[in-house]
Amino acid sequence: MTHDSTRRQLFAIGRSRPWNAPEREVLSESAYLGRRELVRRLGLASAGLVSGALVGCPGPGQAQPAPRARSPYPARRNATYRVSRALTPETVAGTYNNFYEFSTNKEDVAPLSRSFTTRPWQVEVAGLVARPGTFDLDDLERTMPLEERVYRFRCVEAWSMTVPWTGFPLSALLERVEPRSEARYVRFVTASRPAEMPGLRNADWYPWPYHEGLRLDEARNELTLLATGIYGHALPPQHGAPVRLVVPWKYGFKSIKSIVRIELTAEEPPTFWHTLQPREYGFLANVDPEVPHPRWSQATERTIDTGARLPTRRYNGYERYVAGLYRG
Ligand code: MTE
């Protein structure tokens, strides 16, 4: 089977998924909620009615199972961030990934990352902040304002997709740590686990761990998301579980995956791709159809599901949110 026909098949499968309905909200409640959640809401769990059978109450001394935390997924969709393009089927987006810690081959990332350990997970926030701290991912998912946003996503390699991320604005986390007045930049670092990430062992010439950076005003922009989910559930490893950055007006390499450290700095931090190829990858990396990559044009982009070629938009179509950041 050719690569293209596999794509078409995946696309056809993806079409039938509720994620491709224009508004997920039209789904029936039972289809939308998990069974456990439905049982909880109907109040049947407390009556002991589970799986249609009466379950006996535990006798004295018998341990009660700990109550399971309610899943934060799917989160409420924020309709402000809408896109006039069709969603990319999950099966396509989840099998065409750039995550060099696992493989430089996009199709190999999902299988190679399947057993990546994503719990427990902590993110350290440090540097020029008044209240540095280490945040547990479960606590962040519970306490941060999680919402779903559909964004366009444009890779520097001239392909694009449209996906529903779940996450919270990075600015909400920055508020908690209170950046000091000298802070101008934010540096991000990916986990480095050679035992679990074959790319770290096989390609030791890369400047691991993967690291990226934003200006502080970019980091505080309302579009800048720390994503913990995609397509209505927690991120799978290939998309950067359990927490990654999404900066939709910049080329995809800025959207660093599996973050373990965030550091506020006074100086522009070095970044992975700029260190490797300074002539090809800049720090800002804003999507711009008029600035070609030294080896290819950026005027158009290929959608990964249909293969259609579309004109690339300045700031990936997010000009009204971000153009002010770059005036002057
Ligand atoms: N983050 C890490 N840690 N390692 C990577 O190789 N690749 C980047 C970005 N984040 C990368 C990364 C690139 S080039 C792109 S296009 C996006 O992740 C791809 O995200 P996706 O696989 O979820 O589509």
The model's pLDDT over 212-270, given as tens digits with 9 standing for 90+, comes to 999 999 999 999 999 999 999 999 999 999 999 999 999 999 999 999 999 999 999 99
pLDDT at 128 over 90: yes
Kindly indicate the confidence band of residue 66, based on its pLDDT and cuts at 50, 70 and 90.
low
Mean pLDDT of 8-25: 36
For ligand 1, atom 10: residue with the closest CA: 256
For ligand 1, atom 19: residue with the closest CA: 98
Three-class SS of the chain: CCHHHHHHHHHHHHHCCHHHCCCHHHCCHHHHCCHHHHHHHHCCCCCCEECCEECCCCCCCCCCCCCCCCCCCCCCECCCCCCCCCCCCHHHHCCCCCECCCECCHHHHHHHHCCCCCCCCEEEEEECECCCEEEEHHHHHHHCCCEEEEEEEECCCCEEEEEEEEEEEHHHHHHHHCECCCCCEEEEEECCCCCCCHHHHHCCCCCCCCEEEEEHHHHCCCCCEEEEEECCEECCHHHCCCCEEECCCECHHHCCCCEEEEEEECCCCCCHHHHHCCCCCCCCCECCCCCCECCECCCEEEECCCCCEEECCHHHHCHHHHHHHHCC
pLDDT at 95 over 90: yes
Mean pLDDT of 70-89: 95
For ligand 1, atom 3: residue with the closest CA: 257
Kindly indicate the confidence band of residue 30, based on its pLDDT and cuts at 50, 70 and 90.
very low
pLDDT value of residue 328: 77
97 Cα to the center of ligand 1, angstroms: 7
Mean pLDDT of 191-206: 96
